[in-house]
Structure 1
Amino acid sequence: MERNLSVIVVAAGRGSRMGTKESKQFLELDGRPLFLRSIEAFGQFGATAEIIVVTGEADVERCERYIRDAECPLVKLVVAGGSERQHSVYEGLKHVTSPWVMVHDGVRPFIQQEQILACYEEMQRSGAAVLAVPVKDTIKVVENRTIIDTPDRSALWAIQTPQGFRTEELLRAHKEAVAADFLGTDDSMLIERLGASVSVAQGSYTNIKITTPEDLNYAEFWIQTHRKEAES
């Protein structure tokens, strides 16, 4: 497999919804910070040429220390992000040297090789791809605590990361978003804004984003359960 992929791991979040003083990417799961698990997953992927980690300005040295101790040779550098996730991705993009780029949340520690591969293959086939899973629950549109619409669940997908794009296209999308003072909720939204299509690759319901204490409890349970299965 050709090493033609740069990976931006975004580890610049805060612990506001987690209710902790510690930034959520540094919370430990089975003895390791969450963001290291994401880095290690992409470090094992055959197409990865370099990994760029984006974190808070005050956490750059700390992040570098974790990475050095964990021996992650594909990490090219750690850079300081911005006030919003979109700004942080843009800072990482400025250092990308590969023709293809994937962006991944540092707090999605359970990303698996088959999911990375699925996104990578779909990205190369269509030019832009995101991991996603069909929505299980009925979704309601609510205003002032009153339901005003019920979208067709069969057309709804929950979007995950990684998200993969041609580097030049994602960079252009970010530059145009900056110029227009536009803030999107994910990178695919910026690509869509250019009028380009984004394809979906099948993700996994286990590829959760650790955002709340309940998420962390589930993650610890998941690890313990799979460890017991492996030992039995």
Structure 2
Amino acid sequence: MTSSASPEPVVAVVVAAGSGVRLGAGAPKALREIGGRALVAHAVNALAAGGVTRVVVVSRLELADDFDRALADATIPWTLVGGGAERQDSVANGLAEVARVEPGARHVLVHDAARPFVPATVVAAVVDALRAGAPAVIPVTPVVDTIRALSGGPGASAVVDRSVLRAVQTPQGFDLATLVRAHQHVRSEGLAVTDDAMACEAIGAAVTLVEGSRDALKVTDPFDLEIAEAVWQRRRHLTGETR
């Protein structure tokens, strides 16, 4: 599925600099394979299916040959740039590359390579919300577990009303100028943010929520990798995909 037809480019910054230490010994996380294809390749093709027209991958430049192999059959153009000390530094590097390779772009998505199976419908919903005028868009899912918040004393805690909680996923979408300004602000103020929506909120930009998907799980540890393998196997069974 693709988003509404439009000649306007939509570029995604794919953060792929994680070492994958919690996954155990092996290749860096983005280059781990499911079904014979690297996580980053699954992620890039999912973004393309949802309406993204070009990707900037942010990772370690010494892995350039590995990414060339992993993305040899990518369905949209892509560029590799080096990451930074923190995730927000890596995203800032990616945004600078977006301005270079796609100077006419007004919208940008930021996605984690570790979420390889985000459905195209979720990507398209983010893109469509941006085209409708939202400055910042994030996909979310309901929290299904009971959550307790620690409340100070040893062993003290209290249940949090999960009906008002949402888990945040990627890709997050942004008006490009707004996100660039947000990153400039958090850098100049020395603020640490855990995602790009937080950076935009720091400059007063409103964040729009769209429906995410449990298929867009983030691969962090070996158990997550097993679940992602199961998601791929289900899709393979339903669609006949071989990779």
Q: TM-score, normalised by structure 1?
A: 0.91
**Quick check: 1:10 aligned with 2:15?**
yes
Q: 1:202 to 1:147 in 2, by over 3 A?
A: farther
**Quick check: 1:134 aligned with 2:142?**
yes
Structure 1 contact 13–56 (Cα < 8 Å) conserved: no
Q: Secondary structure at the match of 1:209?
A: coil
**Superposition RMSD on alpha carbons, in Å?**
1.8
Q: Aligned residue for 1:197?
A: 206
Tell me how far apart the structure 2 counterparts of residues 204 and 147 of structure 1 sit (CA, whole Å). 33
Tell me how far apart the structure 2 counterparts of residues 170 and 222 of structure 1 sit (CA, whole Å). 32
Tell me how far apart the structure 2 counterparts of residues 147 and 23 of structure 1 sit (CA, whole Å). 39
Corresponding residue pairs, total: 228
**Quick check: 1:74 aligned with 2:77?**
yes
Tell me how far apart the structure 2 counterparts of residues 20 and 199 of structure 1 sit (CA, whole Å). 38
**Quick check: 1:116 aligned with 2:123?**
yes
Alignment-mate amino acid for residue 90 of structure 1: A
Q: Which runs of 5+ in 1 are unaligned?
A: none
Structure 1 contact 103–161 (Cα < 8 Å) conserved: yes
Q: Secondary structure at the match of 2:19?
A: coil
Structure 1 contact 123–199 (Cα < 8 Å) conserved: no
Tell me how far apart the structure 2 counterparts of residues 213 and 141 of structure 1 sit (CA, whole Å). 27
Deviations 1:174-196 (A, max 9, x none): 11111112111010010111122
**Quick check: 1:163 aligned with 2:172?**
yes
Q: TM-score, normalised by structure 2?
A: 0.87
Deviations 1:173-225 (A, max 9, x none): 11111111211101001011112210110001111001010011111122223
Tell me how far apart the structure 2 counterparts of residues 20 and 145 of structure 1 sit (CA, whole Å). 36
**Quick check: 1:34 aligned with 2:39?**
yes
Q: 1:226 to 1:100 in 2, by over 3 A?
A: closer
> Which residue of 91, 96, 108 maps to 1:101?
108
Alignment-mate amino acid for residue 221 of structure 1: A
Q: Percent identity?
A: 34
Q: 1:147 to 1:42 in 2, by over 3 A?
A: same
Q: 1:144 to 1:78 in 2, by over 3 A?
A: farther
**Quick check: 1:84 aligned with 2:91?**
no
Tell me how far apart the structure 2 counterparts of residues 145 and 88 of structure 1 sit (CA, whole Å). 38
Offset at 1:170?
A: 0.2
Deviations 1:78-125 (A, max 9, x none): 100112111111100002231000001011111111111111122333
Offset at 1:49?
A: 3.1
Tell me how far apart the structure 2 counterparts of residues 149 and 139 of structure 1 sit (CA, whole Å). 8
Tell me how far apart the structure 2 counterparts of residues 82 and 22 of structure 1 sit (CA, whole Å). 19
Structure 1 contact 122–200 (Cα < 8 Å) conserved: no
Tell me how far apart the structure 1 counterparts of residues 138 and 159 of structure 2 sit (CA, whole Å). 25
